[in-house]
Amino acid sequence: MSRIYITKELKQLVTQRADCLCEYCLISEEDSGGCQFDHIISIKHGGETTAENLAYSCLYCNLNKGTDLGSIIWRTGELVRFFNPRRDRWSEHFRLEGATIQPLTEIGEVTERIFQFNQSDRILETQLLIDVNRYPSPPALKRIND
């Protein structure tokens, strides 16, 4: 498997645009143990290494997403794309309720399920961050209330 080169300048742009937050679960880079550069549309699906196709993603969200583009809504059988931080507003697809991220739309539903936002270990981590006033951070609150 070949490695994708992302320039220092592009990394800096993506990181700053994200306010050092995972653009999916809104955990800060500092609290997540670091973030990665996610190809929203993966290379294998024809995605390019451009600012428009890169998101800042914590390890958990990025590993759970993998190269997937979406998932099935089981009650309808419909294939639905994942949340795209370049096209979508977080507050239109999710709501923060305590330590859980509740989906508001089908896009939110498939993203929450596949990215495992509300898996027990992640909820525990988020609750601990809430208890020490580190989540949601001011930049995360802006996205939550946007």
In a domain, 2, yes or no: no
What does the block give as tokens for 81?
């794309």
Tell me if 21 is assigned to some domain.
yes
Residue 99 lies in a domain: yes
What mean pLDDT comes out for the span 46-52? 97
Nearest CA to 26 out of 91, 81, 121 is that of 91
Local confidence band at 4 (pLDDT 50, 70, 90 cut-offs): confident
Residue 1 in domain: no
Q: Quick one: average pLDDT of 34-63? A: 97
Q: Looking at the domain assignment, is residue 68 inside a domain?
A: yes
Domain that holds residue 65: 8-145
Evaluate whether residue 138 is within a structural domain.
Answer: yes
Asked if residue 33 belongs to a domain, the reply is yes
Percent of the chain with pLDDT over 70: 98
Total domain count, the chain: 1
Asked if 45 and 67 count as a contact pair (C-beta separation under 8 A), the reply is yes
In-domain check, residue 3: no
Examine the pLDDT at 126 and tell me if it is beyond 50: yes
> For residue 35, what are the β-bridge partners?
58
- Quick: pLDDT tens for 64-119: 999 999 999 999 999 999 999 999 999 999 999 999 999 999 999 999 999 999 99
Burial classification of residue 42, based on how many CB atoms lie within 10 Å of its CB (0-12 exposed, 13-18 middle, 19 or more buried): middle
